[in-house]
A and B are shown apart, each in its own frame.
Chain A
Amino acid sequence: MPLDIEEGRANNVPSDSTLVVKVSTSSTNVNATGRLDLPSGSVTQWSHGKIVNRTLRTQLTATGRHFARVTVIVPATTIQKATVEFSIEDGDGTTIRTFKPEFSGKTTGNDIYLGRAKWIVSVV
């Protein structure tokens, strides 16, 4: 499927928890970017260099719904895989929620495979 969207949610997340994002890819031919939409409407962009094979931590200070998205692009004509790892750590650094969708696809003809992980995090 050229567009693949996986959605998850984490409800009742305590304020001041930390959102952790990491993307693992099967090859250098996979691009990934993302964004975090805060309840206030402000947006934080995550570039490829910040999330691919790296762990990015963002503290969730506001209450309300946060939308975290990671979009994975496979421009290669051979199947490539990517795993998006979302998690929430509490104030002690303990993981209290996880969401780990996996994507697998390839570009066909003139179309691009696009996988998206969307995690809806409700902070209370």
Chain B
Amino acid sequence: MRIAVVKFRLIIFASALLSVQSPAFSQALCDLSDSEDSCKNKVSQQFKAPSLGAAPSDAQNAKDASDSLKEFGDQLAEKNTGAAPAVSPESASSFNDFFSTLKAAADSGSTDGDDDQAIGFELSRCARGEFVPPESSAEKPQDAIHARIQCQVRVRAGGAELYDPVKQALPADTRDARSKALEDSLDFGDNLTVGVFFNIVGTNWGRVPNFASEPLFADIWNVVNQKEDPLIRASNEVSNVYEDIREQISTELSEFDANTPFNKVAERNRPLAQKAVEAREKAWRAEFESADEVRKVLLETRYLDLVDLVNNQPQLNFGVEYTERGELAGPNEWRAKLIYEKGLVNVNTARRYVNSSKCKPAATFDKDISARRVACFNEYLSRPSTQQRLKGGDRLAVSIEAVRRKRYSINLPTDAITFAEDSDRSFVGALAYGFYVGFDDAGDARSRIDLRASYEDVKSDPKRQDRGLFVATYTQKFFEKTLVAVSVVYATQPEFRGDVDKDLSARLGINYKWGKLGKS
């Protein structure tokens, strides 16, 4: 008997709890002291959290894991690259996130990374930034243009430093003092860079979400619209009721607006004010319920995951820039860079799966093609192989960079030195592939493997001429800021292997890094 009473009490408690949590069971919130706006605020409080108790998605987990390692990766790339190759760390390691157009410009910069005193100017839309199909094809994604070129012009001035070989050529006993004096004489005009960068965006390329043309977005919205429709119609009905009342109020209180308390109406017509408050709350509630349904369906259909997959789309960036330097700041140079990057699970692979015969959703959808395709998209994201690659953040990068430095000479009579360098050229091609391999209980990435094969031909550096190099790096993160990174280095020719921490053979060596990360 006692057990039955306890059970009954539990049921009552659970029911009460449900009625509090679910907006559908909520009590009246608004009263005569409220205005339209304050009533809205009260109702909106009940729709703060999505009504769907969705767990973080795989793509979101992968993104979080990626973010947690981002700072770690940036610093690691810097440490691991050691004697820096001609290419920037982005193409030396696939550790880093893909380039946005802006970042492409920044990373293609020919300065040494210290832009603190530089002033930059960027024109990012010399072509239209967003990929939008022509009006006539907006409803027919298959007719849309497949790709277009987005471009960016960048001008940067300042941040000039004394050219290091010149600094080293100064007499040792006066080097520090003279370097400082010479650097103080540098101004903005001593380092001027102008560059133009191109990026392909379109159906299959680039990190721009093609809301207007991507069929998967259209499918999700078709599903959203279907599910939202009855709620919108219900909202219209209750809105009509309130609008009729509101018209009556306006005849009695012409100054009535969204901030007028219904008390003001009650002073003239209390029954009307009471009806108005009730109708207003119902109308707000109906509108929020329909908006909440949209949010819920978007989460159910994994809309956020689809947006995240955009970040894995193939990217092809090409940039050319010219740097004009003052006499003390070093030689003038041309630099050109081509980068191709992609994640192995992206919108293209999802679209291909959805359109293939591989998809066999459990439910039947009759003629509802969009619902079927959305189910297929969910199926694709749920596949173990997809999840593994999403979690691993597998990324591939290919880069080619060519640099041509002009002949350089300087005469410093005060220091009794004349310094000259012939014109120089370098060429570096690299293929990099990286992925996370270990995660902690919270799902944060702890370890990663990066593989990089490169061909380098740097005319002025004997150790990097006609050199093939393969580097495999395993990185393990301990605690929050500590890492151990071990790299196996293999060179095609013994004399070109370069310095390593431990020799295994003439062509093979090991580098290892250990230390704390962070600026402190």
Segment among B157-165, B292-300, B355-363, B492-500 that sits at the interface with chain A: B292-300
**CA of A57 to CA of B108, assembled, Å:** 44
Q: B221–A47 contact, CB under 8 A?
A: yes
Smallest CB separation, A75 vs chain B (Å): 4
**CA of A111 to CA of B292, assembled, Å:** 11
Task: Tell me if B77 is interfacial: C-beta within 8 Å of chain A.
Answer: no
**CA of A77 to CA of B130, assembled, Å:** 19
Task: Tell me if B5 is interfacial: C-beta within 8 Å of chain A.
Answer: no
Task: Tell me if A31 is interfacial: C-beta within 8 Å of chain B.
Answer: yes
Smallest CB separation, A82 vs chain B (Å): 12
Task: Tell me if A106 is interfacial: C-beta within 8 Å of chain B.
Answer: no
Please encode chain B, from 205 to 239, with 1 for each CB lying within 8 Å of some chain A CB and 0 for all others. 00011011100011001000100010011001001
**CA of A120 to CA of B240, assembled, Å:** 9
Please encode chain A, from 45 to 56, with 1 for each CB lying within 8 Å of some chain B CB and 0 for all others. 101111011100
Point out the residue from A43, A47, A71, A114 that lies within 8 Å of B212, measured CB to CB. Answer: A47
**CA of A118 to CA of B284, assembled, Å:** 11
The residue in A48, A65, A76, A107 that gathers the most chain B C-beta atoms within 10 A of its C-beta is A48
Looking across the interface, which residue of chain B has its beta carbon closest to that of A29?
B209
Q: B132–A5 contact, CB under 8 A?
A: no
**CA of A37 to CA of B213, assembled, Å:** 24
Point out the residue from B40, B50, B129, B217 that lies within 8 Å of A5, measured CB to CB. Answer: B40
Task: Tell me if B367 is interfacial: C-beta within 8 Å of chain A.
Answer: no
Please encode chain A, from 21 to 50, with 1 for each CB lying within 8 Å of some chain B CB and 0 for all others. 000000011010101010001010101111
Given A9-B243, A48-B211, A75-B304, residue A69 in contact with residue B133 (CB < 8 A): no
Q: Number of A interface residues, CB 8 Å? A: 41
Chain B residues within an 8 Å CB radius of A114: 291, 294-295
Given A41-B233, A67-B239, residue A5 in contact with residue B221 (CB < 8 A): no
Q: B304–A49 contact, CB under 8 A?
A: no
| Cβ < 8 Å to B, chain A residues 48-107 | 48-50, 52-54, 65, 67, 69, 71, 73, 75-76, 107
Smallest CB separation, A19 vs chain B (Å): 16
Please encode chain B, from 130 to 151, with 1 for each CB lying within 8 Å of some chain A CB and 0 for all others. 1011010011000000000000
Task: Tell me if B416 is interfacial: C-beta within 8 Å of chain A.
Answer: no
Task: Tell me if B49 is interfacial: C-beta within 8 Å of chain A.
Answer: yes
Given A31-B211, A75-B303, A110-B56, residue A3 in contact with residue B295 (CB < 8 A): yes
Looking across the interface, which residue of chain B has its beta carbon closest to that of A9?
B243
**CA of A1 to CA of B42, assembled, Å:** 12
Smallest CB separation, B168 vs chain A (Å): 44
Point out the residue from A2, A53, A76 that lies within 8 Å of B130, measured CB to CB. Answer: A53
Smallest CB separation, B224 vs chain A (Å): 8
Task: Tell me if B512 is interfacial: C-beta within 8 Å of chain A.
Answer: no
**CA of A114 to CA of B221, assembled, Å:** 14
Looking across the interface, which residue of chain A has its beta carbon closest to that of B37?
A7
Point out the residue from A3, A48, A110 that lies within 8 Å of B47, measured CB to CB. Answer: A3
Q: B50–A111 contact, CB under 8 A?
A: yes
Q: A1–B229 contact, CB under 8 A?
A: no
Given A28-B129, A71-B291, residue A5 in contact with residue B44 (CB < 8 A): yes
Q: A5–B138 contact, CB under 8 A?
A: no
Q: A120–B133 contact, CB under 8 A?
A: no
**CA of A43 to CA of B228, assembled, Å:** 12
The residue in B36, B54, B57, B132 that gathers the most chain A C-beta atoms within 10 A of its C-beta is B132
Smallest CB separation, B57 vs chain A (Å): 7
Task: Tell me if B48 is interfacial: C-beta within 8 Å of chain A.
Answer: yes
Chain A residues within an 8 Å CB radius of B287: 5, 7, 116, 118
Given A75-B307, A110-B54, A116-B291, residue A2 in contact with residue B229 (CB < 8 A): no
The residue in A37, A49, A65 that gathers the most chain B C-beta atoms within 10 A of its C-beta is A49
Task: Tell me if A20 is interfacial: C-beta within 8 Å of chain B.
Answer: no
Task: Tell me if B288 is interfacial: C-beta within 8 Å of chain A.
Answer: yes
Q: B208–A112 contact, CB under 8 A?
A: no
Looking across the interface, which residue of chain A has its beta carbon closest to that of B298?
A112
Looking across the interface, which residue of chain B has its beta carbon closest to that of A66?
B236
Please encode chain B, from 280 to 294, with 1 for each CB lying within 8 Å of some chain A CB and 0 for all others. 000010011001101
Given A47-B221, A112-B303, A120-B239, residue A69 in contact with residue B48 (CB < 8 A): no
Chain B residues within an 8 Å CB radius of A5: 40, 44, 284, 287-288, 291
**CA of A110 to CA of B50, assembled, Å:** 9
Chain B residues within an 8 Å CB radius of A120: 239, 243
Q: B291–A3 contact, CB under 8 A?
A: yes
Chain A residues within an 8 Å CB radius of B48: 1-3
Point out the residue from B139, B232, B239 that lies within 8 Å of A47, measured CB to CB. Answer: B139
Smallest CB separation, B308 vs chain A (Å): 8
Smallest CB separation, B305 vs chain A (Å): 10
Chain B residues within an 8 Å CB radius of A49: 132-133, 135, 138-139, 211-213
Smallest CB separation, A113 vs chain B (Å): 9
| Cβ < 8 Å to A, chain B residues 362-413 | none
Q: A111–B49 contact, CB under 8 A?
A: yes
**CA of A45 to CA of B218, assembled, Å:** 12
**CA of A115 to CA of B114, assembled, Å:** 40
Point out the residue from B54, B208, B209, B294 that lies within 8 Å of A71, measured CB to CB. Answer: B294
Smallest CB separation, A106 vs chain B (Å): 12
The residue in B211, B217, B218, B247 that gathers the most chain A C-beta atoms within 10 A of its C-beta is B211
Beyond the given A28-B209, A54-B135, A75-B307, could you list 14 further A-B residue pairs with CB under 8 A, ordered by the A residue number?
A2-B50, A35-B232, A45-B225, A48-B211, A52-B132, A52-B211, A65-B243, A71-B291, A75-B209, A110-B57, A111-B299, A112-B298, A112-B303, A118-B287
Q: Which 4 A-B pairs have the closest CB atoms?
A: A49-B212, A49-B138, A75-B307, A48-B211
A-B contact pairs, 12 of them (CB 8 A): A3-B292, A5-B291, A28-B208, A31-B209, A47-B138, A49-B139, A49-B211, A67-B236, A69-B232, A75-B303, A75-B307, A112-B298
